[in-house]
Amino acid sequence: MKFIIAEFMQETNSFSPVKCSMEFFQLNGITRGEDLIESNKNTQSQIAGFINAAIESGNEIIPALSMFAQSNGPVEPEAAEYFLGELQETIKNNEPIDGLFLSLHGATQLANDDDGAGFILEALRKTMGQDRLIACSTDLHANITKKMLKNANVICGFHTYPHIDLYQTAYRAATLGLKFFEKKGFPVFAAVKIPMIVPAEGYSTNDGAFKDLTCYADDLQKKGIIQDFSLYQMQPWLDVSEGGSCVIVGTENRETAGTIAMTLAKKNFESRKDMGIKLYNLDDVIDMALANNTEMPVVVVDSADSSNAGACGDSPAVIRRLIERKVTIRSAAIINDVPAVKQAFKTGVGNSANFLLGGTLDKSFNVPLPVYARVKSLHDGIFIPEGNIWKGKRNNIGKTAVLQIGNIDVVVCQCMINTADPQLYRAFGVEPALYKLVVVKSATQYKVNYNKFTTLCYPVDTPGAATAKLDTLKIKKLPRPFYPFDDIDTFHPEIIYMGEPI
């Protein structure tokens, strides 16, 4: 059989002032055809998972295209239409096609449609008709909608947070999808939405309530009671009318799928208060770094400004406080600032100048910080990540400068992505393990690699569009009642079966 492989990845933060235009997709490359296979070879990506699942089962693949953009505000509709247009053309040119293996983030809002993934799946279902396969892998933070469930045959979400099973999730989706063509064994998928969000720093699959829930579901799968499950915690900065967390369960028996999806959804809801986060006062964490006499650096987790979560990455809040306190320990920080990078290139390596740092994109949270800095080094901004997200794939943060302000080295870039990856420092000559204090703009994903050299990581109370203080978000569209915005202790679950009319 013959399957087309494609990918559309963008995680939307509804509170970001920056619209995600085609330019953002072009920056990190639109990969197509044979390049899509070549660039994913020996990686742990979703595309690699699809390719291997198809090839190992003796099937043929047609690589269509992959589009990725950093997290920011809603996506301009032209980008989704571009993706669809090219994918539909590839389908037409390669008929007969048996199915699609599609990697989506799943929390993508378009500027004209809250349900970006649903929009894409609905259009592709029209192209493919009812009898062909659409198998989809998504992020654990996806927002699963009725339109997605109606138009896909398989949807699998990551089982890990921090995410380390991108490859495995796509492999799982493709393998389950192949059962679609067999007389027996293809599961019925039941989904139950849960009216809740929790801060991304508040849970992980390494410990705590969410690990327990994941283990519980995993156990059901190991015992053969279910074939597949996905436990979605919708990323909390998505303000859409059909927003919410979700559980999907797949098993051959329709009733069992529905019953277990209900049970897991209720357990997930009951765990909501165990998936909270204590934010530290920034001054207290700076004090801990000053008092730290271990070899490990203290990581100041500035997740409110995480560009992995769609914030602008242009907050100078931590740098400002370090300067105000005249902190003398070696510190490393990072910030998005196009004008400052341009000025650094004009100033030249080894020279010093006055700069305004930060506050160029998100003016609602940040004001620029005036600093006198020396240009330490200049770079093209290209790096190869070491973390599991896009491991081995080229990342581009635009022209980049390292500025030295006293004991603080600041990586200043133009388009921050993959903020969890230490290469965001290392590739530009700043080795985080050698500093006493390191600013990381990521909620949880950074733990995969930072925990290899430090466990002294503290989420701090800083301003930003990706704040963990969810009750401060100016929510307009989410369905109500909804946790944590309403004081609810129960909800009325509804089972939705995948691939069926709604």
Q: Which residues bind Zn ion (CB under 5 A)?
A: 139, 141
Residue least distant from Zn ion (Cβ): 141
| C-alpha to C-alpha distance for 102 and 173, rounded to whole angstroms | 9
Smallest CA-to-CA distance from 230 within 389, 116, 106, 52 is with 106
Cβ atoms within 10 Å of 12's Cβ, excluding its own: 28
Q: Which is nearer to Zn ion, 307 or 366 (CB)?
A: 307
Min CB(446)–Zn ion separation in Å = 13
Residue 67: closest CA among 8, 116, 133, 14:
8
Phi, psi (5° rounding) for residue 365? -110, -25
Least distance between Zn ion and beta carbon 230 (Å): 12
Shortest distance, CB of residue 231 to Zn ion, whole angstroms? 12
Nearer to Zn ion, 141 or 436 (CB): 141
Closer residue to Zn ion (CB): 9 or 340: 9
Minimum CB–partner distance for residue 163 and Zn ion (Å): 6
Write out the E strands in 380-426: 382-383, 395-396, 400-405, 408-413
Q: Identify any residues that bridge with 75 across adjacent strands, giving them in sequence order.
A: 20, 110
Cβ count near 485 (within 10 Å):
16
Give 132 or 141: the residue with its C-beta nearer to Zn ion: 141
Nearest approach, Cβ of residue 235 and Zn ion (Å): 6
**Burial 236-259, CB ≥16 within 10 A → b, else e:** bbbbbebbbbbbbbbbeeeebbbe
CB 441 within 8 A of CB 339: no
* Least Cβ distance, residue 389 to Zn ion (angstroms): 9
- For the CB of residue 204, give the shortest distance to Zn ion in the complex, in Å: 11
Q: Give CA–CA dist 46/50, Å, rounded.
A: 6
Residue 179 CB: number of other CB atoms within 10 A?
19
Q: How far is the CB of 103 from Zn ion (least distance, A)?
A: 13
Nearer to Zn ion, 114 or 139 (CB): 139
Q: Give the residue with the Cβ less far from Zn ion, 285 or 389.
A: 389
Which residue, among 43, 38, 41, 34, has the nearest Cα to 62 in the 3D structure?
Answer: 34
Least spacing, CB of residue 347 vs Zn ion, in Å? 38
CB of 406 to Zn ion, least distance (A): 36
Which one, 205 or 366, has the nearer CB to Zn ion? 205
Our CB check for Zn ion shows the closer of 141 and 399 to be 141
Q: Closer CB to Zn ion, residue 7 or residue 409?
A: 7
Strand partners, 8: 67, 104
Residue type, 86: E
Judged by phi (left if over 0) then psi (alpha if -120 to 50, else beta), residue 248 lies in beta
Q: CA-to-CA distance for 257 and 494, rounded, in angstroms?
A: 13
Query: Nearer Cβ to Zn ion, position 331 or 442?
Result: 442
Using alpha carbons, select from 260, 182, 254 the residue that is nearest to residue 497: 254
The minimum distance between CB 268 and Zn ion, in angstroms, equals 16
CA 135 to CA 357: how far, in whole Å? 45
CA dihedral 283, 287, 292, 295 (to 10 degrees): 30
Q: Which is nearer to Zn ion, 139 or 201 (CB)?
A: 139
Query: CA-CA distance, 237 to 244, in Å (whole number)?
Result: 11
